[in-house]
Structure 1
Amino acid sequence: MTSRFLVSAAVFATFVAVGASPSFALSTKECSVKYQAAKSAGTLNGETWNEFRKKECAGGEAAAPATTEEKPAAKTETTAPASGGSAVFPKAIDTKYSKETAGKARMHTCLDQYRANKANNGNGGLKWIQKGGGYYSQCNASLKK
């Protein structure tokens, strides 16, 4: 009887020791609240949700600082061409798309202009769709005005 008790106590102690480490990690909801607070305070320093979650909300595992510092540098390079200073946009929707819905007519008009600009580098370094607003996004906005 005492041997069963000792074995049970040892098994229980093992489960408690193994199960104790994840209990220090924040739940997803708690981590989200912490992320939103840091976001509103402006202390994220360009961190994404996944980077923040791994760094601040994980129990004992944290992301290596070298990998988190490299990612924001790459993001600034990809968002730099989004300024699109010299991109040429159409002034009005093309008449050949008048039978289509307004959204499709704008898209096809912008696509025709994008393809025409591609031949003479008139897209201002913008891709058709890119993070932060590509050619299509800016062209669509200019045609909606």
Structure 2
Amino acid sequence: MTDELVLRLLARLHGHAGWLAVAALLHPVIVLRSPMRRARGAAWASTLLVSAVAGLGAGLYPSYRALLKQAIFQQNPTVGWWFERKEHLAVGAVTFAWIGLLCHLAAARADSTSQKRLAALAHRAYAAAFFLALSVATIGTIAAANRSF
């Protein structure tokens, strides 16, 4: 397999898994609306998935920078700048997912007052992670439609 083919496959895997991560992050947003609800499996799965997708994106970034970035900016600077912002939004999505997971896990061991606050914070953090991930996936799809490996 050529390097270009491997990059193409990994980029497509990254894109499809990114949309799967968006869907996975919606689950804790829905389930954790109730402060007493526990969803450790969904919280762990969605957080690990969004982290893995971000890790794959970070691994692809050097090749993107070397092979595509200049061409994207020459062809459509707006898409280039949106793609650059996508990375920052992705870091936010991962960070909020981890905050949501940690708050959800901590809520199970907290006193009743803290439990409600932690549960509410977990829900809000997953909501933020979902909306950031949705933005990242949308921008990534637009960029990939514009130019890809």
TM-score, reference length from structure 2: 0.25
**Larger relative contact order (C-alpha < 8 A, sep ≥ 6)?**
2
> Normalising by structure 1, what TM-score?
0.26
Q: Which has the higher helix share?
A: 2
